[in-house]
């Protein structure tokens, strides 16, 4: 009885609130619509309920389908600018604030407030937010590049921009696979498309208010807060990174993202190290394992060491010496023995390597013998196996090879 009375009181407060308010579910269907929303948009609650929230807001200022869907999956409070669409089709600027709402008998509901703005207010607020986002990016990029050496200065500047840089975070470096490794000239040809993809991905990632998202010249980065105390920091960081990537994939299925995850930090000046770790994890994941996944720096294995080499010529020489003859053989004979070698080295047994390659066990045994003849080694030798595996890793890491890989 008491619960019913409280719900009725809550419903009355919702209906009579002076600000336009509505609720929508995870499917973006309107479930509640108050009197102020009717006055603002000229649409009765009975007409609005059950319809998609997308019908009432224009996407021209960024509050489009992907952003609304991201809002429905976000945690915390999200604040954005958009344009509402009235009954007669007239559009006017609004500020939209949405947050999760727990109601008895209803799950995963979002409560949305809208406040009408003048065109001048919209322009002023848009400029303010753009400027603040730039200042945040400048500060975080300066930290990632090691240009700030005072912890106190960093924390103070962060506070002024609404950032709590004293908390514990994991850092994600995110690259878009289609643009990774392309030259400046190639990127310029599709600059508009790349910027639009970056804008949409950033909007989706920013829907979770506890994450700090900013763009860099080579992609973008995310600071993700970690719970304290936390017994499994790495596991929590990977969980948040995978959740974010899955969200982007749902809304943008054609976009392939590679996410690198750093170890956590407790000192804000560690952002430089963490960004380097996350970026290396993303680069290695893309080159060695094909990308479009989440990779933690701690899982890179020997690649952690290999990425520290500054002299690419030395690495290339190691590849040439170890498997150069096999690469040349593939090129001249149109074979794929390098790929076969990679399968043999990565599989625990020849039988499993054959199954992975969809070939008969005898066939892979013959190819193994041929590889050993070309290289003059025994793959069964432990030291040789390590040398060949290392050469294969380097081959994937190098952006190009002096030996043409065909």
Please report the pLDDT score of residue 73 as a whole number. 63
Q: Could you report the per-residue pLDDT of 113-146, keeping only the tens digit for each?
A: 788 888 899 889 889 988 988 998 999 999 999 9
The structural domains of the chain, ordered by start, are 2-117 (3.30.450.20), 130-300 (3.30.70.270), 312-397 (1.10.10.2840)
| pLDDT (0 to 100) of residue 70 | 63
The per-residue pLDDT for 47 is: 92
* Structure confidence by residue, pLDDT tens digits, 368-388: 999 999 999 999 998 899 899
Q: What is the pLDDT of residue 398?
A: 77
Strand order in the sheet with 91-103: 30-33, 20-24, 106-116, 91-103, 77-85, 57-58
CB 135 within 8 A of CB 266: no
CB 339 within 8 A of CB 290: no
Check residue 186 and give its pLDDT.
67
pLDDT at 401: 46
- Give the integer Cα–Cα distance in Å for 154 and 163: 10
Separation between Cα atoms, residue 374 and residue 331, nearest integer Å: 13
Predicted confidence (pLDDT) per residue in 169-197, tens digit: 889 999 888 777 666 666 666 677 777 77
- 63-71 — which CB contacts under 8 Å span 24+ positions? 63/96, 66/200, 66/203, 66/204, 66/251, 66/252, 67/203, 67/204, 67/207, 68/28, 69/28, 69/250, 69/251, 70/203, 70/204, 70/207, 70/247, 70/251, 71/98, 71/110, 71/207
* Tokens at 381, concatenated: 């030798």
Compute the average pLDDT of residues 215-230. Answer: 80
Most confident of 75-84, 265-274, 324-333: 324-333
């Amino acid at each position: 009885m008491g619960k019913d009375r409280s719900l009725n009181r809550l419903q009355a407060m919702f209906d009579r609130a002076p600000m336009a308010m509505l609720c929508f579910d995870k499917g973006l269907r309107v479930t509640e619509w108050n009197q102020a929303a009717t006055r603002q948009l000229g649409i009765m609650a009975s007409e609005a309920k059950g319809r998609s929230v997308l019908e009432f807001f224009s996407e021209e200022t960024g509050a489009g389908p992907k952003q609304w869907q991201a809002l429905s999956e976000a945690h915390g409070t999200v604040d954005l600018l958009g344009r509402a669409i009235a009954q007669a089709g007239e559009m006017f600027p609004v500020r939209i604030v949405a947050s999760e709402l727990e109601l008895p008998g209803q799950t995963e509901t979002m409560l949305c407030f809208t406040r009408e703005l003048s065109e001048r207010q919209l322009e002023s607020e848009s400029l303010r937010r753009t400027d603040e986002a730039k200042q945040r990016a400048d500060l975080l990029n300066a930290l990632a590049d090691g240009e700030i050496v005072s912890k106190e200065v960093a924390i103070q500047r962060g506070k002024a921009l609404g950032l709590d840089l004293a908390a514990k975070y994991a850092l994600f470096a995110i690259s878009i696979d289609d643009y990774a490794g392309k030259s400046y000239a190639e990127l310029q040809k599709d600059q508009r498309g790349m910027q639009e993809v970056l804008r949409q991905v950033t909007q989706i990632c920013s829907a979770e208010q506890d994450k700090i998202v900013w763009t860099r010249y080579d992609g973008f980065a995310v600071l993700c807060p970690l719970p304290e105390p936390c017994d499994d920091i790495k596991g929590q960081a990977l969980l948040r990174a995978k959740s974010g990537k899955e969200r982007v994939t749902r809304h943008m299925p054609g976009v392939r993202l590679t996410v690198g995850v750093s170890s956590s930090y407790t000192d804000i000046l560690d952002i430089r190290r963490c960004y380097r770790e996350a970026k290396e994890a993303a680069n290695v994941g893309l080159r060695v394992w094909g990308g479009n996944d989440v990779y933690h720096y701690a899982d890179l294995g020997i690649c952690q060491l290999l990425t520290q080499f500054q002299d690419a010529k030395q690495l290339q020489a190691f590849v040439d010496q170890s498997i150069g003859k096999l690469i040349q053989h593939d090129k001249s004979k149109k074979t794929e023995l390098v790929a076969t070698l990679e399968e043999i080295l990565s599989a625990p047994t020849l039988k499993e390597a054959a199954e992975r390659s969809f070939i008969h066990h005898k066939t892979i045994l013959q190819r193994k013998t041929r590889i050993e003849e070309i290289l003059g080694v025994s793959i069964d030798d432990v030291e040789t196996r390590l040398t060949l595996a290392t050469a294969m890793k380097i081959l994937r890491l190098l952006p190009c090879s002096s030996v043409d890989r065909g």
